[in-house]
Chain A
Amino acid sequence: MLIQPILFVVLIVGGTALISWPLGRYMTWAMDPQGAASGRPNAFTRLFQSIGGSVSARPQDWKRYMVSILAFNVVMFVVTFSILALQQYLPLNPDGKEALEGSLIFNTAASFTSNTNLQHYSGEVSLSYLSQLAGLMWLQFVSAATGIAALAALARGLAGRKLGNFFVDVQRASFLVLLPVAFIVAILLVVGGMPMTFNGAAVATTLEGVQQTIARGPVAAFVSIKQLGTNGGGFFGPNSTHPLENPSFWTNVVETVSIILIPMACVWMFGRIVGRMRHATVIFGVMLVLVLLRVAGGIWFESAPTQAFADLPIEQTTGNLEGKELRFGASAGPLWSVLTTSTSNGSVNAMHDSLNPLAGMMPMIGMWLNEDFGGVGVGMINMFLYIVVGVFIAGMMIGRTPEYLGWRVEAREVKFAILALLAHGLFILGGTAVFAATPWGADVLNNVGPHGFSEILYEFSSASANNGSGFEGLGDNTVPWNVATGIVMLLARFIPIILPLAIVGSLSAKRRSAESSGTLSVEGGTFATMLAATILVVGALTFFPAATLGPIAEHFIYMN
């Protein structure tokens, strides 16, 4: 009984780590074709410069790069907002979906622009195929591409080079990285039995003579980029638990691999651009250990049977099956729940609200830390923030000027890093406090007691981590929830992109010094331990009091 879960985890996580190595190499070629050399731009770069126009042919400093990110994201938001708002007048609407409410449109556009994919609607109930594809799936490509572009720029800056040009980078990420990988995965999914049709819902008359309307649509294309771009917004309301969004054990394997593939490859891409592969290996190792600890915890806690059935004549040998699908096998749910929250993906293949209390805490911890692999591009950027803080603390401890890759880390950089990390805690804990204390939160809960508190805590964690999963019992399609989480998602998206770029701008204005025997090496076990300790102390302890009020309290009150 123990061998299958271990084999399953090792094959999926280990297999993905193996594929991520060549993919990281390919992504470096795609995102940074010239490397350190300053030769003529290659054919792709020239093509992307001509699509972007004259502004995309000029090198950008960190401020221009940031303004370009914001300009493109404003256009992303406006375009999708318009498509969602006008869907009832637009084509590709075979089931006649009607107008959406205003605050829901705002929340959804903010959610997909920020790569969060928090969904306060149910896709098959509310959205036309055009809204799904041109509104949301488009953002699943370009919001992920925004993250990869920002990481490439950050890495170039740390390598002591110019940051590059956002308008070229975002096209490289969209067309050269995401598009080919998404196409391959989509074909695997469609061969695995997933629908890909533009026909509207099918109406069946069941064997017992009942009418059943079966929603379907262009699912495979959507789900592929949803998984790969750490987006997570499902075509159907219940996401990849839905049999048409995840038809078999094998599609589930493909989708699980797709969750962590590009986030893993981003670490290798960072290492190659910076030119420090041993350093990248140490970072990768720290991330992997943090993920595997939570995976082990999740599978262990989820093997406890459904507590609500304890006094009834029901078998108690198969673990908790509420909210799970049988075709994926027993450990698929907890493994996915950890990977999807480690990476800011937010898709689900089991209902997180129905996980056992401590198994449900594992995804929350993933969102609180938000860096062990993390979102495409931005996960590694979040890790950079922890590195800055970790290097600073280590420098204080040994009484030397903190340095990272030869750059002197001083008060200004540390302030920016801490600010970005504190914002995450403020959004989650502040938002939870306000909604737990008012009818905005208390009136829309699906569970009572500590689990109800967990629903609020999870929702704000998900919004601020740009994750998008939820304890979905929460009745969150209300104006206060739509507005509050919409604002949190946007702030929590752009603060941790802008501040790291500002740090790099500030670092690269200084003189770079050669590393000496007095410098803390970023390639060994000492650094790995220091980094992991920083993450746990700064990241996890911030949220420990909230955890005790939610999942930990629920565990000790109800579980035997």
Chain B
Amino acid sequence: MEALLASVRITVATMAICVAGYATAVWAVGQAITPETADGSLITRPDGTIIGSRLIAQPFSQPKYFWPRPSAVDYNAAGAGGSNKSPTSPDLTDRAREIVAAYRATPENPLPAELAAASGAGLDPHISERAALYQAARIAEARGLAEPEVEALVHRMAFAPGGFLTTDRIVNVLELNLALDGTGTPQQ
């Protein structure tokens, strides 16, 4: 009985300090020094409506936009998830076959692998620099731009996420598309 009473007293103390105090302190620091990312890295239009989050992939299917990686949850940012398919699964082959067709990939011009592979949360905001360049011709045609112009934009916005510790440069699809529309400021 004494043990239960002590447990209850410690419950009250840990709830007050490790939950209420701790969460409030982290929240206060976050809102004070990085309010924009602490609210979810949202991008808004001039009228205040939200376009999306820099960190969250959104669906793109029009030819004039860069396309993100496939999503097992159809880019549902309120219920994220991966395919959870084994890499040996024929289901993945079927899904990849449709994607290959959409990109009109050929053995001479194979598709970068991540454009056929869904990410863990289905919300990966990035594609590799190569995967963006792979789409440059389609976008240039749809927008009536010269292909080198689109390629230059990709090169300008691509970055190495871990500096010298990473080999592949990546680029944020939403930011790239905002830059194409001329409404966003290129980051990085």
Contact = CB atoms under 8 A, between A and B. Distances in A.
A170 B10 contact: yes
B84 to A, nearest CB: 3
A198 B65 CA distance: 33
Contact of B82 (A79, A194, A314, A472): A472
B139 interface: no
B159 to A, nearest CB: 10
A253 B118 CA distance: 22
Interface stretch (A280-288, A325-333, A413-421, A427-435): A325-333
A175 interface: yes
Given A133-B19, A204-B52, A313 B86 contact: no
Given A218-B23, A325-B124, A329-B161, A208 B59 contact: yes
Contacts of B102: none
B26 A220 contact: yes
Interface in B42-79: 42, 49-53, 55-62, 65, 69, 75-79
Best-surrounded residue of B7, B8, B41, B116 (most CB of chain A within 10 A): B7
A95 to B, nearest CB: 8
A312 B96 CA distance: 8
Nearest to A137: B19
A231 interface: no
Contact of B177 (A52, A68, A207, A447): A207
B46 to A, nearest CB: 14
Contacts of A198: 27
A174 interface: yes
A212 interface: yes
Contact of B22 (A179, A321, A325): A179
Nearest to A554: B88
B152 interface: no
A242 interface: yes
Contacts of A187: 26, 29
A53 B34 contact: no
Contacts of B107: 313
Given A243-B123, A244-B56, A447 B19 contact: no
Contact of B111 (A75, A253, A313, A472): A313
A67 B3 contact: yes
A56 B177 CA distance: 61
Nearest to A171: B10
Interface stretch (A98-106, A150-158, A233-241, A368-376): A233-241
A243 B113 CA distance: 20
B5 A53 contact: yes
A322 B2 contact: no
A72 B5 CA distance: 9
Contact of A214 (B52, B61, B85): B52
21 contacts: A11-B165, A52-B6, A53-B9, A55-B5, A74-B4, A171-B13, A183-B22, A193-B34, A204-B42, A208-B58, A212-B58, A214-B77, A216-B39, A216-B40, A241-B120, A244-B55, A306-B92, A323-B83, A357-B88, A451-B86, A473-B84
Closest 8 CB pairs between A and B?
A: A241-B120, A473-B84, A308-B92, A196-B30, A71-B3, A558-B88, A249-B162, A190-B30
Given A8-B162, A353-B84, 8 more contacts: A8-B165, A51-B10, A178-B18, A195-B38, A195-B40, A215-B79, A308-B93, A351-B120
Interface of A: 1, 4, 7-8, 11, 51-56, 67-68, 71-72, 74-76, 79, 122, 124-125, 133-134, 137-138, 141-142, 167, 170-171, 174-175, 178-179, 182-183, 186-187, 190-191, 193-199, 201-208, 210, 212-216, 218, 220-221, 224, 236-238, 241-244, 247-250, 253, 305-309, 311-318, 320-330, 348-351, 353-357, 446-447, 451, 471-473, 554, 557-559
